[in-house]
Amino acid sequence: MEIQGQAAIVTGGASGLGAATAHLLAQRGMKVFAFDLAPSIEKAPAVDHVEYLDVDVTDHASIRRGIATVKAGTEPLRVVVNCAGIGTPGRILSRRGPHDLHQFAQVINVNLLGTFNVMTLGAELIAEQQPVDDDGQRGIVINTASVAAFEGQIGQAAYAASKGGVHSLTISAARDLASYGIRVNTVAPGIVETPMMAGITPEFRESLEASVPFPARLARPEEYAQVVLDLIRHDYLNGHTVRMDGALRMGPR
């Protein structure tokens, strides 16, 4: 699908993988609406053709307001990329007792329900656009899981469950939205170099890098953005989860 002159929504678009994606899509001629929380937006750089909107993906009314702003713009919405996510660790049972249920629900709420809600309301607007090709394609949704969807580590129960949900949703959503000409794919990254990684010790970094078969380094946010662009461009990729992990298979810890 050609993206020049079209609009995209990128949630979590003020930081990390979302920011790299927002920047790449804007460079390639899209008008990008970066949905994120105010504290992240305040730290984000001004980038041409990227408009930051204070949208909480756990709040239905907030997403609706964001989508209304997108709809009021001149470029038709074609692309929704869900990157907003949190990863609060916690074991199911530890010396401190059972897993805090509220904390589990919060991770599901942001990562799975937030993704579902932005996808759903975004698809509603994409479905209003004219098809762009003879197949009747109108647009694409790309969600973000994690290799934890398949190999959740110790202390990742909530995160793994949320990302497993995002992965499982992919084929169902692709089938549901097929009649509107909307493709749905998911990216499951391994370990990516984001601001979060800046504080780790050189020893821990080395052990993380050594766990990746090839290339034996952390992935770059720009490499995630490149997968998003490849998925947008390839009209026959649908209902698919792409692992972007250098052949990493996570161990228990």
Ligand X SMILES: NC(=O)c1ccc[n+]([C@@H]2O[C@H](COP(=O)([O-])OP(=O)(O)OC[C@H]3O[C@@H](n4cnc5c(N)ncnc54)[C@H](O)[C@@H]3O)[C@@H](O)[C@H]2O)c1
Q: Which residues are catalytic?
A: 159
Smallest distance from the beta carbon of 58 to ligand X, in angstroms? Answer: 5
Beta carbon nearer to ligand X, 11 or 241: 11
CB burial readout 218-241, b (16+ within 10 A) else e:
bbebebbbebbbebbeeeeebbbb
Q: Please name which of 118, 133, 31, 27 lies closest in space to residue 76, comparing C-alpha atoms.
A: 31
Beta carbon nearer to ligand X, 17 or 132: 17
Q: Can you read off the two tokens belonging to residue 67?
A: 């989508």
Q: Which of 8, 12, 119, 141 is in the footprint of ligand X by CB under 6 A? A: 12
Tell me: does residue 84 bind ligand X (CB under 6 A). Answer: yes
Q: Which of residues 100-119 bind ligand X (CB under 6 A)?
A: 110, 114
Q: Where are the beta strands (DSSP E) in 67-218?
A: 77-82, 93-94, 97-98, 139-144, 182-189
Please choose, out of 45-53, 169-177, 190-198, 200-208, the segment that lies near ligand X by the rule CB under 6 A.
190-198
Smallest distance from the beta carbon of 218 to ligand X, in angstroms? Answer: 8
Tell me: does residue 194 bind ligand X (CB under 6 A). Answer: yes
Separation CA 223–CA 17 (nearest Å): 9
Total of chain residues touching ligand X, rule CB under 6 A: 30
Q: Which of residues 16-55 bind ligand X (CB under 6 A)?
A: 16-18, 35-37, 40, 55
Please name the residues in contact with 229: beta carbons below 8 A apart, sequence gap of 6 or more.
Answer: 24, 25, 28
Please choose, out of 78-86, 91-99, 129-137, 169-177, the segment that lies near ligand X by the rule CB under 6 A.
78-86
* 221 in Cβ contact with 17 (< 8 Å): yes
DSSP string of 117-148?
HHHHHHHHHHTTSPPSSTT---EEEEEE--GG
Tell me: does residue 155 bind ligand X (CB under 6 A). Answer: no
Smallest distance from the beta carbon of 33 to ligand X, in angstroms? Answer: 12
Tell me: does residue 143 bind ligand X (CB under 6 A). Answer: no
